[in-house]
Chain A
Amino acid sequence: MKLPEEVAAKYAMEGNHAPGEYHWRGQVVKLQHISLEHADRLFDAGFPYLVLKPKAESAKPKGKTAALGLPEQE
């Protein structure tokens, strides 16, 4: 089982836990079926089995001109 694609783009499973059925604070959570909105709510509430993935680096590194607030030259 896998996290839904939109959820997997933002979150990873903590440790060696797998997407599946967890019962947490009275909720039954089936991680293979949750929406990104649900995942966000769980994460914000402290759900321990989802961790944020590191944000991807910008594809184009900023040069000296960008650091100075000047427009990049082509």
Chain B
Amino acid sequence: MDLQDLLHVNGVPNPSGLATLHGVANIEDITTLQAPAAQIGDLASTAITAATIATAHVFATGKCMHKLYGTQNKGKGGYAPVGEVDSEAQKGTAELYHPGSKATADALALKYTNWSGLVFIAEADGTIRQYGSAAFPARIKVTYDTGTNEGYKGYKIDVMAYGLPFIYTPGLNFTPAV
């Protein structure tokens, strides 16, 4: 893709932060893992083809994304450049806060300890970004903290994946494939 203008249309809504429901998927549950249609180094590529995943992943029968709730106005996501000159790339990170003290969350903390896969983070405006890829799956670290009597009790879920978290336009899919 060649350089292009980067503008903003006056008056377009731009809510910050995250939505409250996100998705998590095992890469092994996906029979066809989609990726951007082109690479940025390809001169024929466009912003859409090089920086979005526009086709839905194909899940194996009975599989789909799993729901992950995060408290509003506490989580955030994003990416930043990493690496040395002439070797720079991106690293995506997100953090979610899940309330409570519960066995399911504890068990998932154990599961995620040596797990990697895909995490789909929903932003406040409905944009979904995919953290992780076939080459660099996302890792999750879970921290539990009771907080203080005037604080927050629950789990902090840290997500990290090398690579830019591409916009995943098909959205979240919580229905098992047939």
- Tell me if B173 counts as interface (CB < 8 A to partner A): yes
Determine which of B21, B125, B126, B173 lies in contact with A17 in the assembled complex, contact meaning CB atoms within 8 Å. B173
Residues from chain B with a CB closer than 8 A to the CB of A26 are 19, 125-126
Q: What sequence of 0s and 1s flags, for each residue 31-74 of chain A, a beta carbon within 8 Å of any chain B beta carbon?
A: 10000000000000000110000000000000000000000000
Determine which of A1, A15, A18, A23 lies in contact with B171 in the assembled complex, contact meaning CB atoms within 8 Å. A23
A24-B172 Cα distance, complex, nearest whole Å: 7
- What secondary structure prevails in chain B residues at the interface with A? loop
Determine which of A14, A18, A25, A27 lies in contact with B175 in the assembled complex, contact meaning CB atoms within 8 Å. A18
CB distance from B178 to the nearest CB of A (A): 5
CB distance from B77 to the nearest CB of A (A): 16
In contact, A22 and B174 (Cβ under 8 angstroms): yes
Given contacts A22-B175, A23-B171, A24-B171, contact A14 B21 (CB under 8 A): no
- Tell me if B155 counts as interface (CB < 8 A to partner A): no
- What secondary structure prevails in chain A residues at the interface with B? loop
In contact, A27 and B173 (Cβ under 8 angstroms): no
Residues from chain A with a CB closer than 8 A to the CB of B38 are none
CB distance from B169 to the nearest CB of A (A): 7
7 interchain residue pairs of minimum CB distance: A20-B175, A26-B126, A24-B171, A23-B172, A21-B174, A18-B178, A16-B177
A22-B172, A23-B171, A25-B171 are known; give 7 further A-B pairs, CB within 8 A: A16-B178, A18-B176, A22-B174, A23-B172, A25-B126, A48-B56, A49-B56
